[in-house]
Amino acid sequence: MIKFFAFLLLLFSITFFLGCSDNVDKSLVKNQNIALKTTDNKIVTLKKTLNGFSYDNKTLLLAFFTTSCMPCNAQIPNLNNLQNRYQNNLNVISLILDNSSLDDVQNFIFQNGVNFAVTFDKNNFKLSNALGNITSVPYMVIYDKDGAYVTDYTGAVPEEMIEADLKRIF
């Protein structure tokens, strides 16, 4: 009986403390824009839309990575190919979600031949939280040119799968 009450007390405590915490940055979700700094000190400003984000009147593919993630590294050639093939209609933007140094991230970009924008900014984490606290990488999400959510992927996916989804909206 004591174990049962201890369990209830533990369950109540967890529910109380976690139920009161709010990891999602509501101000980010309400704001119209979010500015992200790239590794080459450019600012990418994502405009908040009703169903997602838009950027530069093109389809937007946000790719959340860490520099030590092997599936993330495996995904880069696919994203490079898609960015090259659809450069007039697509912006691929990677958001680094680890605490690497800028030098480490720049080495990651060089070693993997990344040809798309890579952001290295504290707002990467805020955007991750706003999208549902992304905890597994690679995580990618696609928005059409108007900023409407299209689809998302968790884990490495074949280039052909992403391309098929892109072709549906171009």
Residue 41 falls in which region: left (phi positive, over 0), alpha (psi -120 to 50) or beta = left
Distance CA 72, CA 154 (A): 11
- pTM score, whole prediction: 0.81
Residue 14 lies in a domain: no
Tokens 């979010």, residue located: 34
pLDDT in tens, the chain (170 residues): 665 444 433 433 333 333 333 333 334 445 579 999 999 999 999 999 999 999 999 999 999 999 999 999 999 999 999 999 999 999 999 999 998 999 999 999 999 999 999 999 999 999 999 898 898 999 999 999 999 999 999 999 999 999 999 999 99
Edge-to-edge strands, sheet with 117-119: 117-119, 90-96, 59-65, 139-143, 149-154
Tokens of 12: 């109540």
The structural domain count of the chain equals 1
Tell me the β-bridge partners of 60.
Answer: 91, 143
Q: How far is CA 15 from the centre of its chain?
A: 28
Residue 143 lies in a domain: yes
How many other CB atoms sit within 10 Å of the CB of residue 20? 7
- DSSP-derived 3-state class of residue 40: coil
In angstroms, how far apart are the furthest CA atoms of the chain? 67
pLDDT at position 135, please?
87
> CATH no. for residue 83?
3.40.30.10
pLDDT at position 1, please?
60
Residue 5 lies in a domain: no
